Structure 1
Amino acid sequence: MALTPEGLSALADEARRWAGHKERLDARLYRLLDLAREASALKHPLDREAVEKALLAREERFGLEEELYLKDLEEGVVALEVQGMQVGEINGLVVVEGPLPRGRPVRITAQAGPGREGILSIDREVGLGGQVFHKAVLTLAGYLRGSYASLGALSATVSLVFEQSYGGIEGDSAGLAELLAVLSAISGLPLRQDLAVTGAIDQTGRVLAVGRVAEKVEGFFRVCQTLGLTGSQGVVLPKANLPHLTLRKEVVEAVAKGRFHLYAVEEVDQAIELLFGRKAYWVHDKVREVLGEFRKMENGEENPSP
């Protein structure tokens, strides 16, 4: 096969995607050779265009499930918003495994009220959550205890659920999104729906790296394309994941043109300001105020409004 420098560069780009890092290459050469053979069968000489055509052909061969999912979004079968503001709702990001793993947004909702149960994960209660997922929920509860320790024990019951999710859930990459949904549900302050969120958290409020970040960004971009790009949409991700952003050309171009946005954060408060559109201290003060009201209700000092 006649391989041009541009074709070699395109193959290297794909090897970086498989490695999940901009500074590394996947060493499984047989995969690159398979891709090169497919590309050379589509176009001579083997240049960047040939490689891109081969990749597109692969996506089309395995793309029926994704096509049906996007159609369900258009028809409203899958309930998801990529514009406006909502209380206690946020777009998290997951990866659906398969021959070609795909990132997808998932609507995470939270409801809060007086009580002593703390964070109640519905997915965990019905057995859909794995061990690392359970750990992330407990870490979230630890962050809340530490942040609002001056109020004593948390006088709230907050339910969390991944809406329209019927399979097993594993990993801690939704920790940041879940926390933001919880803070919104308690405070009554709305969250932006045009931003999707990925990132794990620790008990001190640091945002930690997650896996498959490129697929997650691309998944939300496809959904926004399907429902209509507004120019304000984007993804909030851990700053530690920046070396892993081996994104497709169309996403890179959309970011460069300001049609799609990426926000890298290191601390929870940075994400709070992006999603709430308010200073973090203001959101925390509102959460403390409401938790104080919940405590009074629990202690019988006042009755909730009818």
Structure 2
Amino acid sequence: MRVTAEHLQPPIEAWAQQRPAQPHADPLVGQQRALAAIEQTMRIGGRYAHGYMVTTPGLRVVDVLRALQERHQWVHFERFDWLYLANPDSASEPLCVNVPAGSARDALRDLMELFEAPAEQRAARAEEMREHFPSERFARYLAKVQDKTFDDLPGTELATVIVESDQQTNDFVLCDRVTDASLFGSIRLQSVAGTISSELHLIQPGALLKANGGVLAIDAEELLSQPGLWRKLKYVLRTSLFHWPQPGETANIAAYYQPEPVPIHLKVLLLGDRGIYGQLRELDRDFDNLFPYLADFSAHYPLSHEPLAPYFNYLAYVEREAATLPVAASAIALILKESSRLSDYQTELSLDTIALMQLLREAGAAAQAKGLQEIDHDAVAQVLQQRQQRDGYISELSRRQVLEGQVYIATEGDVIGQVNGLTVVTIGGSEFGEPTRITATVHYGDGDIIDIDRKSELSGSIHTKGVMILSAYIANVFARNDEMRLSATIVFEQSYFEVDGDSASLAELCCLLSALAEAPAAQGLAITGAVDQFGRVQAIGAVNEKIEGHFHLCQARGLNGQQGVIIPAANANQLNLGQDVMQAVAEGKYHVHAIDDVAEALALLTGENQQQLYARIEKRLAELQHCEPELPWYRRIW
């Protein structure tokens, strides 16, 4: 099937016309699956109800957490202010006390007044404080110090405030730079007259204590990269108690200074990719119990089962965060095209916030340089062209080698046993497509197909598997009942690095069949696709890069109307090509063919149908089946 120009990209113009006049900024568009999981996580309490968020590239976690808080009004444990108070019974064991949120400073002021009050007034004052600051721990402390003065307390300090809830504007704490001190806190040291000690003001809380009663989000990769932190966190979650390190556990703790453990009641969300999630489930038997909820955030917005309108709310959020010029209506179609290209599918749009923000900021700078007040189509097109120029140096060098004849690639004419495949090269941070010449020769033998790249150890395991599959196809078609008397060799010419992947197996099969049938293959056509044992063509990756790599080579040499590419039909919904390719296809100077079976590929390459080719191959094999090769002269005289 020949693909028409209008099908080489998604219907971006029709999409752009659906943009509402006043979209509402929303970072949670397209994340219904993850939102349902997080909402369930927040509704269920207990120490075995934490969650894991699978984050995607470009996801701005803080924005997502804030939007979740505003939308779902997270259900928490009751929030408190937490203090450490001087223990009248032990200078080295301060007591952990909580008071209602926002009342820590008032409680300390009243406590100082209690110590200064006459003895006969203290009982009444303590009772008033119990009523004003309802807390079992605070009530116990008042009972302990009711008949004491400040001078009766050890040390020189009365208290230190660990957490003040009224100073937190969010109900979540994000710990994305995870260390022992940043997550669990620390107790610093001081030296007085040569004596190392610690006091209340040297107790420094970490994110765990600051989030107590709320939500703590932790970067999983950072957490696991620090030895011992994961086990320490698990212990806190299992016991709901935070113990400060004991003497000898770390060099940052004063000997025998042991503050009372802090009760912990919070919700933990681990943030990381799916690989870390899989490793935790496989290697830690406690993980599934502690983190039973998976919030799987998506990197793409699927238009196949979601309406387009909400995506404009997401773009409004991206535009707001980019903080640049407003986007004109003329630029929307090109932005949607780039978003679709980032997702690799015509029916999906990207949710990579950072990538789209970068696009808008670059376009905003280009528009400002022209004195414009908004981002128009030309500004976005200029940015995309500049990116291609910045990233295209290596691809230009590769194409120049072909144009100068250092690498031989034919783009016209017909050759037996030679086919142009399509590959993707990733080098130095650049990824681009380029054609590669595949050749095959046949000779009398026992039916083996020799992969020269494999013999020279330049073949990856997946490529080797692809060659084995095409060998099985040929054996199934031509050697089901009789042994083949022809063997073949196949190679990627002028390839000096490892070849991997199965996307060239269709090209290799067509090359072999061309050699077996002695049928010339068109050199103006390049082909990509994987093939199974029954000749069905299967999808491959990076289809746009492969097409554009071949097109730019043909364009540099001059398009003659006979050139084009052959791709799997399964990849047709991934096409998102540049305007120059679309124009050439529309004018009939270049062609894109989408196929389902090897027979279609052979018809395009050789101009003959499969039955004709296979009949010639079978005739040739039958002739060889009943003849023995002539022995060389030295064997005959022996």
> TM-score band (shorter)?
over 0.9
- Which residue does the alignment assign to 2:441? 111
Tell me the number of residue pairs that the alignment of Structure 1 and Structure 2 aligns: 303
TM-score scaled by length of structure 2: 0.46
- Residues 223-265 of structure 1: per-residue CA shift (max 9 Å, x gap): 1011111011101111111101111111111111111101111
Separation (CA, whole Å) in 1 of partners of 2:489 and 2:479: 20
**C-alpha distance in 1, partners of 2:625/2:360?**
64
Matches within 5 A, 1:21-100: 21-43=345-367, 44=372, 45-98=374-427, 99-100=429-430
- After superposition, what is the alpha-carbon deviation per residue over 1:112-163, rounded to whole angstroms, capped at 9, x for unaligned? 1111251111111111111111110000011101111355222222111111
Q: Report the Cα offset of residue 102 of structure 1.
A: 0.7
Q: Which structure is higher in RCO with an 8 Å CA cutoff and minimum separation 6? A: 1
3-state SS of paired residue (1:159): strand
Which deviates more, 150-159 or 165-174? 150-159
* Higher mean C-alpha deviation, range 84-93 or range 141-150: 141-150
CA distance in 1, matches of 2:355, 2:363: 12
Contact in 2 for aligned 1:206/1:267 (Cα 8 Å): yes
Deviations 1:275-305 (A, max 9, x none): 11112111001111222233344xx2x549x
Aligned partner (choices 587, 590, 593) of residue 257 of structure 1: 587
1:107 is paired with a residue whose SS is: strand
Instruction: After superposing the two structures, state which structure 1 stretch, 65-74 or 234-243, moved more.
Output: 65-74
Structure 2 residue 568 is matched with structure 1 residue 238 = yes
Output aligned runs, 1:55-204, within 5 Å: 55-98=384-427, 99-116=429-446, 118-150=448-480, 152-204=482-534
**Structure 1 stretches lacking a partner, 5+ long:** none
- 2: distance between equivalents of 1:265 and 1:155? 31
For the pair 1:4 / 2:328, whether they are aligned, the reply is yes
The one-letter amino acid paired with 1:119 is I
Matched, 1:286 2:286: no
Partner of 1:20: 344
Which amino acid letter does the alignment assign opposite residue 326 of structure 2? A
Equivalent-residue separation in structure 2 for 1:31 and 1:154 (angstroms): 54
Where does residue 546 of structure 2 map in the other structure?
216
**Residue by residue, what CA displacement relative to the aligned partner does 1:30-87 show, whole Å, maximum 9, x if unpaired?**
0011111112211233122211111111121222212222222221111010000001
Structure 1 match to 2:153: none
Alpha-carbon spacing, 1:86–1:35, altered in 2? closer, same or farther (3 Å): same
One-letter identity of the residue aligned with 1:243 = N
Structure 1 residue identity aligned to 2:510: L
Report the Cα distance in structure 2 between the residues aligned to 1:226 and 1:38, rounded to whole angstroms: 29
1:40 partner amino acid: G
Deviations 1:184-239 (A, max 9, x none): 11121110001000111100111111111111111110010111110111011111
Q: Deviations over 1:164-196 (max 9, x none)?
A: 111111111111100011011112111000100
Task: Calculate the aligned-residue CA RMSD, in Å.
Answer: 1.8
SS at match of 2:423: strand
Question: 2:526 & 2:595 partners in 1: Cα distance?
Answer: 13
Q: Which protein shows a greater Rg?
A: 2
Q: Which whole-Å CA distance do the structure 2 matches of 1:112 and 1:142 have between them? A: 17
8 Å Cα contact 1:114-1:295 kept in structure 2 = no
Q: Identify the range of structure 1 (65-74 vs 178-187) with the bigger mean alpha-carbon deviation.
A: 65-74
Given that 1:92 and 1:108 are in contact with CA atoms closer than 8 Å, whether structure 2 keeps it comes out as yes
Percent of matched pairs sharing the same residue = 37
Amino acid at match of 1:85: D
Question: What is the distance in 2 between the residues matched to 1:23 and 1:109?
Answer: 37
Instruction: Report matched runs for 1:265-284 at 5 Å.
Output: 265-284=595-614
Give the stretch that moved more between structures: 77-86 or 9-18. Answer: 9-18
For the 8 Å contact 1:103–1:220, the answer to whether it is kept is yes
Q: Judging changes above 3 Å, is the alpha-carbon distance between structure 1 residues 234 and 10 closer, same or farther for their aligned structure 2 residues?
A: same
Matched-pair contact (CA < 8 Å) for 1:186–1:291: no
Q: Does the Cα contact within 8 Å between 1:113 and 1:158 map onto a contact in 2?
A: yes
CA contact (8 A) 2:473 2:534 kept: yes
C-alpha distance 151-240 of structure 1, shift in aligned 2 (>3 A): same
Q: Are the counterparts in 2 of residues 113 and 186 from structure 1 also a CA contact under 8 Å?
A: no
2:205 aligned partner: none
Superimposed CA distance per residue, residues 9-39 of structure 1 (whole angstroms, 9 cap, x where no aligned partner): 2122111111110011121110011111112
CA contact (8 A) 2:440 2:490 kept: yes
What is the SS of the residue equivalent to 1:108? strand
Residue pair 2:548, 2:577 contacting (<8 A) in 1 also: yes
